[in-house]
């Protein structure tokens, strides 16, 4: 398995870098396409939900969890 790949994007008006393994980047791109959103818009939505948590995880972890929850929901 390949190690994390760092990518920069604009989220809520500021630049940020996110490190994810390629399989997660692929899944995130697929999810954005399925929802008809640009990748940074989907990440911004995940980030907004993350920030609302009582003890927010870092953004990369929040993305991984969001993708896992999406995959589990799709199986149900």
75 pLDDT band, cuts 50/70/90, is confident
Range of the domain at 32: 5-75
Q: How far is CA 50 from CA 3, 46, 54, 62, 74, in A?
A: 24, 6, 9, 6, 21
Q: Residue 15: its pLDDT value, please?
A: 94
Distance of CA 14 to the CA centre of its chain: 16
Q: Is the CB of residue 43 less than 8 Å from the CB of residue 63?
A: yes
- Could you tell me the CATH number of the domain that includes residue 55? 1.10.3990.20
Number of domains in the chain: 1
Q: Note the pTM of the prediction, 2 decimals.
A: 0.90
Question: What tens digit of pLDDT does each residue of 4-37 get?
Answer: 999 999 998 889 999 999 999 999 999 999 999 9
For tokens 């604009």, name the residue.
10
Q: Rounded to an integer, what distance in angstroms lies between the CA atom of residue 61 and that of residue 10?
A: 18
């Amino acid at each position: 398995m390949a190690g994390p790949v760092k990518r920069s994007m604009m989220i809520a008006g500021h630049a940020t870098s996110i490190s994810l393994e390629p399989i997660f980047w692929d899944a995130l791109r697929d999810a954005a396409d399925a929802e008809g959103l640009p990748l940074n818009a989907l990440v911004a939505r995940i980030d907004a939900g993350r920030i609302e948590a009582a003890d927010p995880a870092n953004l990369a972890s929040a993305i991984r969890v969001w993708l896992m929850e999406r995959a589990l929901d799709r199986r149900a």
